[in-house]
Each structure stands twice: as structure tokens, then as C-alpha cells.
Amino acid sequence: MVKDARRAKRLVKRVLKGRRAYFDLRGLLAERGPLAEGAYRIGVYFADSDVNIYQMRQWYAPLQELSKTHPVLLLARNAAGARQLMTESGLDVAFVKKVTDLERIVEEQPLEVILYVNQNTRNFQMMRYGRRWHVFVNHGESDKMYMTSNQHKAYDFAFVAGDAARARLSKALWDYDVDRCTVAIGRPQTDHLVGTPPFEPDDRTVVLYAPTWEGDRPAACYGSVVTHGERLVRELLATGRHRVVYRPHPRSGVVDGDFGAANRRIIAAIAEANRRDPSAQHVYDDSPSLGWQLSLPDVAICDISAMVYDRLATGKPIMVTRPTAPEASIDEGGYLSVCEWLDVADTAEAAAVLDRVIGDEAARERLGTWSSHYFGDTTPGAPTRRFHEAIEGLLAKADAHRAADAAAGA
């Protein structure tokens, strides 16, 4: 009975949240007015709610830059997701809740390139439209099992970070033509690592701890909040010479209540440490943007996730927590074969371990080599240039096909 009551309460909350989102969105759409017809050749499809909005947030800045030359239209299927996109993305949004809404937008806009940031099953409702390119761009680069899904074959192309992604796909997928179907663009997000930290830099060592969530299946159980996190943060808060920047995954605790409770205890510990010593300026970071958090810290501690590789692109020291779950799938053929692992036992001596990693010049050299393998040219502006070139190439292909169709009378 108690479980049924809790389930009913959650359902009511979800329904009410959805209704509020819909009415808020309707007001935003009315205020904006209709979109200009025939204006958008680039679309970005997002079928999720605001729970997974982090997958889109990392693309805001690159898409805003792209929209300076080619207007970009975000195609949102969920009211809460659409509302979030309209209030924070800085891009044009079409709310296409029903398939008939998709039909209408396809009639009104050319939409010759459609980008997809995840593998939502509703992607197929958009992918049924031909005479356009469907491109998987993902929401990060990593060696997680998600990165080698056979679902890649459903798309015309995949924009990947670099050689590591291509090698990973070649190894995992049968008869997948990596040379034809993938385009290496690096990580355009690294050209937009901006923002100001909420503290004044001083002589404290800044440590980014950015764990992932608990995962939705045993093979993806990479989250370290319960196994490593509490002890790790407690040790670093006590030294008096470290500043902790704690940035947990926004989905932390959605599956496992114990995981969510541990996350809340870490947040509370940070608040208490700041109360005792305001000069410590430890940070619980849940901001939507990601910039200084990657580039500023002296060392980063991440779980197996895209955060590892986003940090890798900066060439600065990083440690990866080793999962304790025996079922967790770990691909140690890439950077994880040489990374600096943080085992559970290491958290008791966290300060000493981090001192060693920060001072390891050989490790820094390895970071540079592996950064090139994963991302190619990381000099400022290079990833953005490759992203734009990839888009231009697909638009040129679309033009050629349309010209051929016109000549053939299609």
C-alpha cells in the first residue's frame, strides 16, 4: 500500500509538471509568434523532457555559432523540454508534439540536415523522412558502451570526435563503413569554455570532482558517488589546502535512492565546510553551462563518462575512478589503458594521490598524445572549423541531389 501511494504521488506530480510546462510553453510560443517559412536548413531533433536537457546544453554554443551562417531550428517533442530550450538555448524552437506537427514542419522548412544528440526511440519518427541527411552527433565522447551502439547504422552519418571513435566503432560493429559514415570534427564545445568561477583564485589546489549517475543497467554502473565520493570529498575538505568543485550528473539518484542520498550528503558537507571557513569557497556546481569547470581546476576526478574526455581535451591532469561493480563494462583499449585510476582505497589518501598526479610530467605528456588521438587538432577554433566544414559538406551534397532530382524531373 505504501509503495502504491508513493507511486501514485509521483504520477500526480509528473502529470502536474507536464501540464504546467505545456501552459508555460504555449505562452512562450504565442509571445514569439510563428516561424518564418523556408528559413531553416539545419534542424536538431530532441524528443526528451527537461530531465535530459544536459544533452542539448553542451551544443548550445556551437549551434549558436553555426546559426550565424545557417539558421538552426530545434525540434522539440516534449513540452518540458521545449520550454527549457526556449528559455535558455538562444536558438529557435519548434514544438512538434505530434507526428502531424512533424509533417507540417517538414512541409514548411527545407531541413536538409537533422542532428540527433541521443538515441531516443522516437528519433525514428523523424528519420522516416527521406531526401535529407540524418546525422548522429551524440552528447559527448567517451569509451562507454553507449558509444558503440549498433544504432549508429540507422543514421546517414555520425559526427565523431576523432580517430579513437572511429577505431572503437570499427572494432564493435560488423560491416559498418566507418570511412564513409563518420566525419571527425573534434569537440566544438572546447572552443566555448567560458565563464567566471564563483571564487577568487588563490594558492588552494582546485579539484573538480564530476561523477556520473548510477546508470540504468549493471554494465553501465560507472557512478562513484556512493563508492568513492563521500570519503574522497570528506578527505579533501579537511586538508585546508584544497578547493573542491563538485559537479554531479543531473540524473544522480533517479534510479537508486541510496545514490541520491549520498549525493545530497556531499552537497551538505560542502555547505558545512564553507560555513566553518568561508575563505575555503568550495563549490557545488549545478549550473547549466560547462566551461571554467573543465579548464581551470588543477586536477579533475571523473567517472568513466564524457567528462573524462572533455577534460582530456584540455591537456590538464585527470584521474578516473575505477568502478567497483564487477558487471561494469570497461574498454581499456584506449585512454583507459594508461589513465590514472583512483581506486576506492586511494580515497583515504586522496591529498597525497592528487599531489603525485599533479606533479607527474610523464603523465602530462601522455595526456597530450591521447588528446590528439581522441580529438585531433585541439588548437582554438579548429574544432569549430571542422564542424562547420562537415555541415557545409552535407548541404553541398543536398544541393547536388536536389539539382539531380530537378534535372530528372523528380
* pTM assigned to the model: 0.84
349-353 contact pairs (CB < 8 A, 24+) = 349/235, 350/231, 350/232, 350/235, 350/236, 351/235, 351/236, 351/239, 351/241, 351/242, 353/319
Domain(s) labelled CATH 3.40.50.2000 in the chain stretch across: 205-375
Residue 300 has pLDDT above 90, yes or no: yes
Provide Rg for the chain, Cα atoms: 22
What tens digit of pLDDT does each residue of 22-47 get?
899 999 999 999 999 999 999 999 99
Average pLDDT in the chain: 93
* Domain 205-375 superfamily per CATH: Glycogen Phosphorylase B; (3.40.50.2000)
Is there a contact between 184 and 163 (Cβ–Cβ < 8 Å)?
A: yes
Which residue, chain included where needed, has cell 517559412? 37
Angle at 212 between CA 210 and CA 218, to 5 degrees: 155
What tens digit of pLDDT does each residue of 40-80 get?
999 999 999 998 999 999 999 999 999 999 999 999 999 99
Backbone angles phi and psi of 39, in degrees to 5: -100, -15
When pLDDT is averaged across residues 265-284 and rounded to a whole number, the result is 98
Residue 1 has pLDDT above 80, yes or no: no
How far is the C-alpha of 394 from the C-alpha of 132, rounded, in Å? 9
pLDDT at res. 2: 54
Is there a contact between 293 and 190 (Cβ–Cβ < 8 Å)?
A: no
pLDDT at res. 143: 79
- Non-local (6+) Cβ contacts of 271 within 8 A are 284
pLDDT at res. 326: 85
Sheet-wide strand order for 72-76: 92-95, 72-76, 42-46, 113-116, 133-136, 157-160, 182-184
What tens digit of pLDDT does each residue of 161-197 get?
999 999 999 999 999 999 999 999 999 999 998 889 9
Taking every pair of C-alpha atoms in the chain, what is the biggest distance, in angstroms?
76
When pLDDT is averaged across residues 359-372 and rounded to a whole number, the result is 87
More confident residue, 286 or 362: 286
Count CA atoms within 13 Å of residue 254 on its CB side: 12
Q: Which CATH architecture has domain 2-139?
A: 3-Layer(aba) Sandwich (3.40)
pLDDT at res. 264: 97
How far is the C-alpha of 200 from the C-alpha of 80, rounded, in Å? 36
Give the torsion sign (CA, 233, 229, 307, 14): negative
Q: Which residues of 49-63 are buried (b: 16+ CB within 10 A; e: fewer)?
A: bbebbbbbbbbbbbb
Residue 271 has pLDDT above 70, yes or no: yes
Structure-derived torsion over alpha carbons of residues 43, 188, 82, 39, reported in degrees to the nearest 10: -30
pLDDT at res. 410: 59
